[in-house]
């Protein structure tokens, strides 16, 4: 009986680690795709100007780029809560 409970605990830990690995893989793929999409855009040089308008544009740009990634990690965290260690 105790051995069966130990195996169940190991399975839950494995599933939790599995979701962390999935989240990391999604993050790496997302960063690579974002870099590939942003590389050919010439007008992005104007975003990085150090004035108030440029910083506002930069903040809006970064919020738009990273919000899907934050949402993906929210889903990973929610699924991991289903399998407590």
- For residue 67, the model assigns a pLDDT of 93
Phi and psi for 25 in degrees, rounded to 5? Answer: -65, -45
pTM score > 0.75 for this model?
no
Q: Are 13 and 85 in contact (CB under 8 A)?
A: yes
CA distance 45 to 10: 50
What is the per-residue pLDDT across 15-66, written as a single tens digit (0 to 9) for each? 778 888 999 999 999 988 888 877 666 655 665 555 666 677 778 888 888 8
Query: What whole-number distance in Å separates Cα of residue 57 and Cα of residue 30?
Result: 21
Question: Burial of 73 by CB count in 10 Å (0-12 exposed, 13-18 middle, 19+ buried)?
Answer: middle
Dihedral of CA 35/37/41/46: which sign? negative
């Amino acid at each position: 009986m105790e051995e069966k409970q130990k195996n169940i605990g190991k399975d839950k830990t494995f599933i939790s680690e599995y979701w962390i690995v999935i989240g990391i893989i999604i993050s790496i793929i997302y960063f690579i795709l974002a870099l590939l999409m942003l590389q050919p855009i010439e007008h992005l040089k104007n975003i990085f100007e150090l004035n108030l308008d440029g910083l506002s544009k930069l903040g809006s740009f970064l919020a738009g780029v990273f919000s899907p990634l934050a949402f993906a990690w929210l889903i990973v965290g929610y699924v991991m809560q289903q399998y407590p260690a």
